[in-house]
Amino acid sequence: MRWLKTKKRDAELTRELQSDLELEEEEQRERGLSPEEARYAARRAFGNPALIREQTRAVWTWKWLEQLVRDLKYGTRTLFRSPGFSIVSVLVMALGIGATTSLFTIVRAVLLRPLPFRDPGKLVMLYEHFRQNTGGDGFNTVAPGDYRDWRSQSRDFEDLAAMRSYGGILSGVHSELPEVVQSAGGSANLFPLLGVSPVLGRTFTSAEDQPEGTPVVLLTWSLFQRRFAGDPSIVGKQIHLDTTPTTVIGVLPSWFTYPDARIQFWMPYAQTFSPGNYAMRAGHQSIVVARLKTGVSAEAATREVSSLQYQIHLANPSRPVAEDVWFRPMIDDLARNVRTPLLVLLGAVGCMLLIACLNLANLLVARSAARRKEVAVRGALGGSRLVLICEQMTESFLICLAGGGAGLLLSLASTYWLAAHWRNLPRADSVHVDGWVLAFTLALVAGAAMLAGLVPAISSTGKGLLSGLRESSRTVGGGASRARLRKTMLTVEIALTVVLVISAGLLFKSFLHLRTADLGCRVDHVITMKFGLPEIQYDTRDKVVLFHQSLLERVRRLPGVRGAALVSAAPGSEPHGDRVFTILEKPAPSYTLQYHAMTLTADPQYFSVMQIPLLRGRVFTEHERLGNDHYIVVSKQFADRYFSGDDPVGKHVQVDWATKAEVFEILGEVGDTVFDVTKPVQPAMYFPILSGIPDQTTEATIVAYTSVDPLAMSMPIQQQISALDPELPVYNALTMDQILGKTTASQGFASNLVLAFAALSLLLAAVGLYGVLSYLITQRTPDIGLRIALGAQRAQVLRLVLFDGLRPALLGLILGWAVSAGATQLLRSMLYGTGPLDPATFAAAATLLVAVAALACLIPAWRASRIDPMQALRTE
């Protein structure tokens, strides 16, 4: 219908213009001009009839839509004509857009999306800050005594709640199916403060939130589903926690995985302390979350609590009480460990996308060169520049759209893979693709299409239209400005690649450094296994020592075991914590935080089994056991830091336990072992595990040095443990190699990803270099042919072309170096064992880039030197 109407109107318009033109012609003729002259004069007075018809038609029809359809048709046809180019370009864009979308999805979920709590912008985390603490970030966990004072006296916070991570052995009422799980303690007001209500039952009451309150437990959704099959009748029933009968009072919603998805159940905060410890100021383990009152800034509210803390500090001069309180918004607090890696990865994929766009732009410039004459003719005939630009942009738009579609599919898969494989990624379960992500992808597509299409389109429709027509007869030196544009883009592309390669190199070097880190002990053929004796059954020193002793004897007798020992925590794993102490022979001038060390317990053979060298004095013997336990062995770092390297043997330290202080004599000094490879070595003191003190030695790790594959020994050792106590669960059966792999996994993950992006970018840059040079050679074929005909040596031609290609590469390299010098500063917190300006990495990146660039240039250069002069000159 509509089409018929349009057709009729077209016919009428033609008739109208025709009649006007004829009338004009008649009038001119009447003025006495010859018919020929009259026709020309009429045309001149009337104007370009084709253009006028177009413009008049535009009044009636949707011109832009028609044009769009036509452009799309042309674009699709052009793309189908060279499927190889199209497929490669779409794939490259898909990779770039897909990777950027994935990272954006994760960054949005982890760093940007508000937390799922009531009014989350008002939630801050409070930490203690020791003015003399130089290591770490200065954010220290809080002592329960300090938290309770803050809560009762602060007026600027609506409320403060505390939580701490905890562990526990969970079993049925008949001690069946024991399992060791992670748990947390939360104060009674924590869930109301966050705005979390349980899906079943209720949360804690303040009466329960007392050190000796009724034992109650809140299950997380995952434990509820996994262990209790989602049966709601569990609420009100009892389970055993560390063999204590405990009532289940509620189940938390499935979305509540704060602060960690591994937490299986929550206990009242105060019940994780003994009555004596609930008021302590020397032990720091809690995390405090506070809700701001409306209209009060976090700074002001924290200042109030901080001055409170300073009073507490002054009132306790001899104890490790912090001077200040620092705050951090809850959302930043949660993402503090992944923020830099995430942003680095996002930057890396952004660079890769930019490189892909530049590459596409470069390839499109080459293609538009082939249509230069056509564009010039159309421009000369009155085609508007905008129309011509739009037409050329369609192609890049189509490529980016197809790439965006494929990239979205790619990112759907890769986002979930990333979220699942990134260890300890907070809020990983909230990562999903939604409308915002789709909008982001569309924006990326539009941006990429603009970037990749606009530059070639503008340059090919630019001012040199007439020169385009003129040039076409002789191609010698043709398209010089175009070549300059392409070389500029290439330089930028290579500079970006250099930045990526250098960053990836630094991260990879750090990872290797961590991977090959010397733990200070035997790593091969060692299996470790943790267990914790419930303190209800193992309540005396004799019982604990009896268990440890019999276990050691049994394991040492196993075939395949060369040696076995007990330690509280194996190197590379998470240690128990540290203690403050004083040295009797060398009193500190005033109380400072310097006097603290990691506490470990070990049996006499631990040092020889793990090959930890004895440096001075001696290690424990079988005599340091039970009551005869006031002896310690210290690490090299301990002696270096607190005795300035002097002999510590025979000196005495007074250790501040929670309830009392005790004096220990130093027996000897051993080599350092490393617990966290990403941090400097900590001083350590070893206490005899055979003292059997229940709350210090019941959690133990058995380490066994085997003559066979260590993993194969894990079952026999477990059998020995269950032969002694069938209800005792065993966990973390890991070889030392596995422990080391686990601690470096997240560094390895980030560095491997960046490395992959850098490799892709390098490939793209090589393709770009090759493409530009091949194009230049094609353009200069007659020129080179002429040179060869006039006597130029092939080696000279080779050198000429090679240098032509390598110049942008070298320029890009220098530019990339300069940018990297700044960019790698941002990586500083992710680097270990190497500085951000590591000369070896910079040199290696340069060598790699020059090698790849030379390779990419060599093929076109060699081809140029093979040009047959006769053929080249004849084709002109």
Partner 1 sequence: MQHGSLYPALHRLEKRGWVATKWDTAPDRNREFKYYRLTNKGKKQLVVEESQWKQMAEAVALVMWPAAGES
Give me the residues that bind partner 1 (CB under 8 A), please: 13, 16-17, 19-20, 22-23, 44-49, 52, 55-56, 58-60
Report whether 798 contacts 861 (CB < 8 A): yes
Nearer to partner 1, 45 or 855 (CB): 45
Pick 49 or 192: Cβ nearer partner 1: 49
Q: Measured from the CB of residue 377, what is the shortest distance to partner 1 in angstroms?
A: 23
- Please identify, using beta-carbon distances, which residue of 49 and 869 lies nearer to partner 1: 49
Phi, psi for residue 614 in degrees, rounded to 5: -85, 125
Closer to partner 1 at the Cβ: 24 or 208? 24
Q: Hunting for tokens 């008002």 — which residue is that?
A: 122
Residue placing its CB nearer to partner 1 in the complex, 19 or 206: 19
- Report the nearest approach of partner 1 to the CB of residue 389 (Å): 22
Q: Where are the alpha helices (DSSP H) in 179-263?
A: 190-194, 221-228
Distance, in Å, from the CA atom of 615 to the CA atom of 602, rounded to the nearest integer, reads: 17
Separation between Cα atoms, residue 151 and residue 147, nearest integer Å: 6
Distances 335 to 328, 408, 417 between C-alpha atoms, Å: 11, 25, 19
Closer by beta carbon to partner 1, 13 or else 850: 13
Q: How far apart (Å, rounded) are the C-alpha atoms in residues 416 and 152?
A: 44
- Minimum CB separation from partner 1 for residue 758, in Å? 56
Please state whether beta strands 699-706 and 526-532 pair in parallel, antiparallel, or not at all (unpaired): antiparallel
Q: Cβ closer to partner 1: 27 or 699?
A: 27
* Among candidate residues 115, 150, 517, 487, the one with its CA nearest the CA of residue 303: 150
Shorter beta-carbon distance to partner 1: residue 46 or 416: 46
β-strands 216-219, 244-251 pairing: parallel
Q: What CA–CA distances, in Å, run from 536 to 244, 543, 690?
A: 8, 11, 19
Report in angstroms how near the CB of residue 445 gets to partner 1 at its nearest: 35
Residues 6+ apart with CB under 8 A from 588: 582, 594, 595
Min. distance of Cβ 7 from partner 1 in angstroms?
16
The smaller minimum CB distance to partner 1, of residues 44 and 373, is found at 44
Pairwise CA distance, residues 343 & 103, whole Å: 9
d(CA 340, CA 335): 9
How do 263-268 and 179-186 pair as beta strands? Answer: parallel
Q: How far is the CB of 385 from partner 1 (least distance, A)?
A: 19
Question: For residues 560-590, b (16+ Cβ closer than 10 Å) or e, as one string?
Answer: ebebbbbbbbbbbbebeeebbbbbeeeeeee
Of 19 and 871, nearer to partner 1 (C-beta) is 19
Q: How far is the CB of 17 from partner 1 (least distance, A)?
A: 7
**Residue 290 structure tokens:** 């506070």
Strand runs labelled E in 499-557: 526-532
Nearer to partner 1, 59 or 790 (CB): 59
Residue pair 190/163 in contact by the 8 Å Cβ criterion: yes
When the beta carbons of 46 and 228 are compared against partner 1, the nearer one is 46
Shortest distance, position 45 Cβ to partner 1, whole Å:
6
Cβ nearer to partner 1, comparing 42 with 111: 42
Q: What is the smallest separation between the CB atom of 13 and partner 1, expressed in angstroms?
A: 8
Sign of CA dihedral 842, 844, 847, 848: negative
**Crossing angle (nearest 10°) for helices 385-421 and 63-81:** 60
Q: Provide the 8-state DSSP code for 140.
A: B
Structure tokens at 510: 């750090």
**Is the CB of 63 or the CB of 303 nearer to partner 1?**
63
CB closer to partner 1 out of 46 and 74 = 46
Length of the chain: 876
Question: SS3 for 26-71, per residue?
Answer: HHHHHCCCCHHHHHHHHHHHHCCHHHHHHHHHHHHCCHHHHHHHHH
* In the complex, minimum distance from the CB of residue 122 to partner 1, in angstroms, rounded to a whole number: 54
Contact 312, 248 (CB under 8 A): no
Q: Are strands 123-129 and 157-171 parallel, antiparallel or unpaired?
A: unpaired
Name the β-bridge partners of 326: 127
* 612 Cβ neighbours under 8 A, 6+ residues apart: 520, 521, 606, 670, 671, 673
- Minimal distance, residue 12 CB to partner 1, in Å: 8
Nearer to partner 1, 16 or 518 (CB): 16
Compute the least distance from the CB of residue 59 to partner 1, in Å.
4
Three-class secondary structure of residue 383 per DSSP: coil
Distance of alpha carbon 579 from alpha carbon 570, whole angstroms: 18
Residue with tokens 């230069």: 372
Q: Token pair for residue 785?
A: 């042919």
State how far the Cα of 324 lies from the Cα of 314, in Å rounded to an integer: 11
Question: CA nearest 548: which of 698, 686, 695, 685?
Answer: 698
Shortest gap between Cβ of 55 and partner 1 (angstroms)? 4
State in angstroms the smallest separation of the CB of 388 from partner 1.
Answer: 21
CB of 60 to partner 1, least distance (A): 7
CA-based Rg of the chain, rounded to a whole angstrom? 38
Tell me how far, at minimum, the Cβ of 54 lies from partner 1, in Å.
9
DSSP per residue, 441-457 = HHHHHHHHHHHHHHHHH
Cα distance between residue 712 and residue 193, in whole Å? 49
Residue 548 φ/ψ region, left for φ over 0, alpha for ψ in the -120 to 50 degree band, beta for the rest: alpha
Nearer to partner 1, 56 or 738 (CB): 56
CB of 20 to partner 1, least distance (A): 8
Q: Give me the least distance between CB of 31 and partner 1, in Å please.
A: 16
Q: Between residues 381 and 661, which has the closer beta carbon with respect to partner 1? A: 381
CB 504 within 8 A of CB 754: yes
